[in-house]
Structure formats: C-alpha cells, structure tokens
Amino acid sequence: MSSTDREVLVRYCRTDTIRFAAGDQMQLIYAKLNRSVHLLAPNLINLLDHCWTFRTLDQHAEGWLRAHVNESQPRELNPVAPIHDLLLQLIEAGLLISDRDLLDQVRRLTHASTLLHPPASISTIGVLTRDRPDSLRRCLTSYIENGKRHGRACRFVVMDDSQSVEMRNHIRQMLGELRARCDVNLAYAGREEKKGFAAALAAAGDVPCEVIDFALFGIEELGCTVGANRNALLLDTPGELVCSVDDDTVCHIAQAPQMQTELAFDAAWEAMKFWFFPNRASATSAVSFVEGDVLALHEQLLGRDLRQCAATFESEVNNSNAGWHFDEVNARSLRDLQHNRGRVLATFTGIVGDSGLHSPVNYLLLSGDSRQRLIASEEDYLTACTSREVIRAIDRPRVSANAWCVTTVYGFDNRRVLPPFMPMGWGEDDVWGFTMQTCCEDGYFGYLPWLVEHAPPETRIYPPDSITKAATLRNFQILLACLASFQIPPGPVSDSERMQALGRHLIALGEMEQLNFEEHLRLHIWRRQSEYISYLESLLRVYGGTPEFWASAVRHHIAALRAAFAQPDHFIAQDLRINRSNDEARRFVQQSVQKFGLLLYWWPRLVTVAKTLRDKGQRLAAAI
C-alpha cells in the first residue's frame, strides 16, 4: 500500500462475486462488477471472506491475524507484510473495492438515476382512528399546522374503524368543522364509504367479494381490525407517496439522542436503541422538540433508489465520503449499490412516549448501551418491564433490507404494488414487514433518527405476567411461521408474481387436511422457537448470567417456552380462542391462513382496479 493510501485511510471491502468449487479446496470466482474470472487458492479465499466490510488494509491484515494466528506466538512470527501482499493481489484482481471507488461510481451514475426517477413528494397524510375523536382532533390539527408552517399542500385522509353509526357521524361532523377552520383538503372513510368502494371494486373487476370484504373489514368479531384500516389507506392512495400516522400521535418532532448524520447501510433490530422512563413527562422532558417538516424527513429516503439515498447524505467536503457510514454494509447492500438496484419502499421514525409494544419480552435481547440502561439497576429493569414510556430511536439514518416495522408513524411508496396487511388481529405490521421482504426483491426500509410523540390519552403499562405470557402464541406468529415455510420461486419474477406465489402457498396450507396442516405448523413453530431458545441460552453465556435479575427473567422465559412446546394446544392462537372452543379455534387458525393467502393472491388485481377507479375520479375516501 502506498504512503498516499495510508494517509487518506482508504478502506476496502470484497465485491460481489459468484463462486464454484474447483477441487483441491480451490474456487472459481466470478466478479460480477468487472466480469473477471479468477481461480483462488484456499488462503486467498479465506482472506477474501474476512474482508466482509470496509476496513483499511492494515485493519484487514490485523483482524485476519487475530482470527487465525495464536496470540501467544511471538509477534515476529505474525508478519503483517505478507498479508498486505495478498490483499494487494485481491485488489489487483478486482475482488476488493475501495470506499472511494464505490463513491465515485455512485457520483457518476446518481445524476442519470435522478433524471430517470426524480425524487417525489409525499402527497397524502393518512390518519388511522377508531372511537377516539379527541385524539383524532389533536393529531390532525398538529399535522395540519406542521404542513402549513412548511408550505405543504397535502391531502389529509382519515380512515375510521369506529363501530357505531353515532361515533362515525360525530367524527364526520368534527372533521367538517376542522376543514372549515383550517381550509385544508380533507377526506374521510368510515364503514359506509368502505362498503361503497367495496361494491365499486367488485363491479369493476373480477376479485371475489369475500376477498374484498376481508381486505377492508377483516373479521370484526375479533375486535381488532387495524390491518383492514391500513388496507383501506393502501387502496385509497395507489400511485402516491404516503405518510401514515396513528391517531394518538402528535406532530412534535425531536432529534434522536446521540444522533449522527452519516447514512448507514444495513441494520434493523440490532441498531434500535431504547431509553426507559417511569412516566410520560420524564420521557418527553428527556428530548428537545424542534421545528421541522415531518414529511421532508421521510422524503430523504422514501421512494429513492440506493444511489439517490447515498447522494442525499454525501458530503462534498475534501472529496470525502463523510456522509456515509460503511462499517455495517452487508453484501446485498454493496451489490445493489454497485448494480444500481434497490429502492426504499417504507420509512420509519422513532417515537418518544408509549412504546407501542404489547410486551417487554424483546428487551431481554437488547445489547450495547440499550442493555446497559435496561440493567443499570434492578429498579431500572423493573421500570422498563412495567412502564411503556420510552424513547425508541435509530442513531443515524439507515437503509436496510431487514424489516423492523412499527407502523405508528411511517411512510410508504404506493407507486409500487405493496403487499396488504393482515386485516385481523394484532401484529399486522410484523406480518407486513415479513411479506414485504419476501415479495419485494429489491425493496429496502429506511429508518430515520428522528422522534415523533406517541401520546395515547390513557396511561398504559405492561401486565406483571407479560413476559411469561409471551410464550403463548398469537395468530400473527402462526401466520409468520406459515409465511417462513414458503420457498421463493427461482428465476426473475415480479413483485406481484412473488405475492401471488406466496398467496398460493398459504391457500394450499389452508386446503390441507386439518391434521396434516397442524403437523406442518407444529414443525415450523418448533423449529423457530428452538432457534429462539438457543439464542436466549447463548445470551446467558455471553453475559455470564449477569445480572441475576435479568438472567432469572431469561431463564423463566426459556422455561415457559419449553413448557409450552409439548402442550397439544400450543399452536392454537390465544387471540382466536376468545368465545370459541379449542376445536373451533383450531379450524379458525387454518381458515385465517387461507383467507390471507387468498388476499395476497388477489391483491395485485385489487390494486389495479382501485387505481383504475381513482383515475376515473372515484376514491375510497370521500371529500369532507
């Protein structure tokens, strides 16, 4: 390496390759970027595998030595120079790419990409509500005022899941008063508007009526149909960039603690940070709310391809890549950057206030400084497992193929055919994230280091037995196990074709003999939970079983999972047992899988019909 390279600390990472065994432990390596072919010996293969993320040559060499050479050996027997020579061979072969070369590629092609796909603006803010007119008024007012301060001319649409006619009429009246006072483009869809649009969809296309009804209304006797309300927003806004917010959020914006500005590629749960508070006041007082355009935050990433995202955050200072954080880039992100693939289809802010989580069980998995805050004392741990008041935040803007979907406040690119939400039950956002990953081959998620206030009017706490009860299954977890058993079809297929193939898979599961379906379900649930238990046990080893109050909770959680394993009714979703016998719930589990499969299969067609109706001037939500 030249002295110049040492001075500017150029970093290198392995490039995109396809490999074939060539005998005698050698491999034929095809470098896709420059289409070169190489036959590598085992020592070079091993070194190439080690260079999985961007590091300087010194760092790669030192890291390889630490991993492969006995530390007790004298230092003179661990020479760095020969490793440098091998690394230089890999660079010469085009198998390692520098961060500077990657940045130059992005600079050359971003302009053309922007001309081809110019960044779009969010045109609709959707608010999801049910039986909370006061929260809805507060929420809408805050987002309307934010838009006016920043010169936005958005359409606001309220998707209302309220069950009584009286409540829906009350909300319509309140919205009429708000529209007159604020002079804003406002639309509303309650049960009547959804029924009318469902009839129009059925008349205009060939989608079965029962599929349309399931998409827009779910199964109302279950009591939770938030996914159906989210589907209504998807069908109201085809062809748009949309920001969706829950009615108990307030457009108060704050920077994430310890926020950094460089864009990182790849991260999800591992990069999510938590701060825990005993009450709402202490949570909101821990941040400084600032003036900002909430939609502009999402537009930094939403709907953009990876190179446009990179260009947004690039620093031109000293020709550097200071706007990027390469430390966590993975092979897929690097490959898509090099080949100009990948687009951010959904964006998420963090929250300050109510966590939006039903259980603190995932806190047991935290690492780094979030874990230190969790276990600072037993009192702090008990506070986190009781109070739902948190800051949940990403430390920097991130683009990832991994989904960590909490849809309290999120943006989505509805110019693509995005999958539907599971219309019934809780956990619809977990299912949506998994389905997005499966169906949208080039899809990415954007995570923003900004917070929006989540302020339900009531104080929410975790029940004392919430971690113990986390061992029981809910319907969304069963659905996730069924989705995970799907094999993606080989060869190039469109998002819609993948979605329909996934739908056919679930339909086939729904048509199986009940005992065969239950065996399929058990095997996949056991496999997933077995891996989860092994991971929990690995955490106990990593942290030496300390502190004891945390370790005790992990061991009790493992014991509860293990005890549930052998129960004959373990695979019957707890939320489907309400007002049903076990036999009825067993049948309903399978029926719900089949119903979602039918929805996935017909969804691309449903979106096409909705877009045709919209182009003719008919939308799901009616203007106020």
533-583 pLDDT, tens digit each: 999 999 999 999 999 999 999 999 999 999 998 888 888 888 888 888 889
**What's the pLDDT at 217?**
97
Element (H, E) at 534: helix 514-542
Q: What does the alpha-carbon distance between residue 453 and residue 289 come to, in Å, rounded to a whole number?
A: 9
Question: What dihedral angle (degrees, nearest 10) is formed by the CA atoms of 351, 357, 360, 365?
Answer: -70
The C-alpha angle with vertex 126 and arms to 120 and 129, in degrees rounded to 5, equals 165
Helix (H, G, I), strand (E, B) or coil at 470: coil
Tell me the pLDDT tens digit for each residue of 475-528. 999 999 999 999 987 777 899 999 999 999 999 999 999 999 999 999 999 999
Counting every residue written for the chain, the total comes to: 624
Between 99 and 617, name the one with better pLDDT: 617
The pLDDT of residue 407: 96
Between the two ends of the chain, the Cα-to-Cα distance in Å is 67
Boundary of a domain, candidates 244, 259, 279: 244
The answer to whether residue 329 scores a pLDDT higher than 90 is: no
Dist. CA 108–CA 607, nearest whole Å = 36
609 has pLDDT over 60: yes
- Give which of 280, 292, 146 is closest to 138, Cα–Cα: 146
Q: Mean pLDDT score of the chain, rounded to an integer?
A: 91
The pLDDT tens digits of the residues spanning 183-203 come to: 999 999 999 999 999 999 999
Are 291 and 203 within one domain? no
Tokens of 536: 């929990």
Least trusted range by pLDDT, from 19-33, 267-281, 319-333: 319-333
With a pLDDT cut of 90, the percent of the chain lying above it is 72
Confidence of residue 111 (pLDDT cuts 50, 70, 90): low
Residue 255 has pLDDT above 90, yes or no: yes
Residue 515 lies in a domain: no
User: Within this chain, do residues 259 and 232 fall inside the same structural domain, yes or no?
Assistant: no
What's the confidence (pLDDT) of residue 622? 98
Specify the pLDDT at position 316: 37
Pairing of strands 343-354, 122-129: unpaired
The rounded distance, in Å, linking the Cα atoms of 395 and 414 is 27
Average pLDDT over residues 68-93: 75
- Are residues 427 and 336 both part of a single domain? yes
368, 284: one domain = yes
Does residue 211 register a pLDDT over 60? Answer: yes
Out of 124-138, 331-345, 443-457, pick the least confident: 331-345
- Give the three-class secondary structure for 417: coil
Query: Lowest mean pLDDT: which of 173-182, 212-221, 281-290?
Result: 212-221
pLDDT band at 409 (very low <50, low <70, confident <90, very high): very high
Residue 236: how many other CB atoms lie within 10 Å: 25
Q: Is residue 259 part of a domain?
A: yes
User: Residue 348 is part of which domain span?
Assistant: 249-406+414-463
Same domain membership, residue 395 and residue 300 = yes
Residue ranges in 440-474 assigned as alpha helix (H) = 466-469
pLDDT band at 318 (very low <50, low <70, confident <90, very high): very low
Q: Is residue 388 one of the residues assigned to a domain? A: yes
Indicate whether 157 and 285 sit together in one domain. Answer: no
pLDDT of residue 112: 60
- State the pLDDT confidence band at 6, using cuts at 50, 70 and 90: very low
Which segment of 13-27, 113-127, 134-148, 216-230 scores lowest on mean pLDDT?
113-127
> What value does the mean pLDDT take over residues 343-350?
97
Q: 8 — phi, psi (to 5°)?
A: -95, 0
In a domain, 186, yes or no: yes
Report how far residue 390's alpha carbon sits from residue 192's, in angstroms, rounded to the nearest whole number: 37
Residue 547 preceded by cis peptide, ω within 30: yes
Query: Residue 321's pLDDT is what?
Result: 47
Q: What is the mean pLDDT of residues 136-144?
A: 98
DSSP per residue, 445-469 = EEEEEEEEEE--SS--B--TTHHHH
Distance CA 540, CA 401 (A): 29
Phi first, then psi: give them for residue 244, nearest 5 degrees.
-110, 135
Q: Which tens digit of pLDDT belongs to each residue from 354-397?
A: 999 999 999 999 999 999 999 999 999 999 999 999 999 999 99
Query: Which ranges in 306-346 belong to alpha helices (H)?
Result: 306-313, 331-338
Report how far residue 361's alpha carbon sits from residue 553's, in angstroms, rounded to the nearest whole number: 9
- Which of the listed residues 200, 222, 244 is the one where a domain comes to its end? 244
pLDDT > 50? residue 590: yes
Whether residues 316 and 451 share a domain: the answer is: yes
User: What was the pLDDT predicted at 334?
Assistant: 81
4, pLDDT greater than 60: no
Maximum distance among all Cα pairs of the chain, rounded to whole angstroms: 83
HSE, CB side, 13 Å, CA atoms: give it for residue 192: 9
Please count the structural domains in the chain.
Answer: 3
pLDDT at 269: 63
Q: Determine what percent of the chain is predicted with pLDDT higher than 70.
A: 93
261 and 345, same domain (yes or no): yes
The phi and psi torsions of 163 (rounded to 5 degrees) equal -90, -25
Query: For residue 348, what pLDDT band results from cuts at 50, 70 and 90?
Result: very high
Sorting pLDDT into bands at 50, 70 and 90, what band is 74? low
- How many angstroms separate the CA atoms of 176 and 187, rounded? 10
In a domain, 514, yes or no: no
Handedness of CA 447, 449, 453, 459 (dihedral sign): positive
Question: Which pLDDT belongs to residue 7?
Answer: 41
Answer yes or no: do 306 and 376 share one domain: yes
Phi, psi dihedrals of residue 397, rounded to the nearest 5°: -60, 135
| 52 in any annotated domain | yes
Residue type, 99: D
426 and 370 share a domain?
A: yes
Q: Is residue 496 part of a domain?
A: no
pLDDT at 77 over 80: no
Is 615 a member of any domain? no
258-272, 401-415, 431-445 — which is least confidently predicted? 258-272
The number of helix segments (H) and strand segments (E) in the chain equals 23, 20
| pTM passes above 0.75 | yes
Among 55-59, 76-80, 145-149, 579-583, the range of highest mean pLDDT = 145-149
| 114 or 474, which is more confident | 474
Q: What is the DSSP letter of 520?
A: H
Do 105 and 197 sit in the same domain of this protein?
no
Examine the domain organization and report whether 165 and 87 are in the same domain: no
- The residue out of 244, 268, 291 marking a domain boundary is 244
pLDDT greater than 60 at residue 319: no
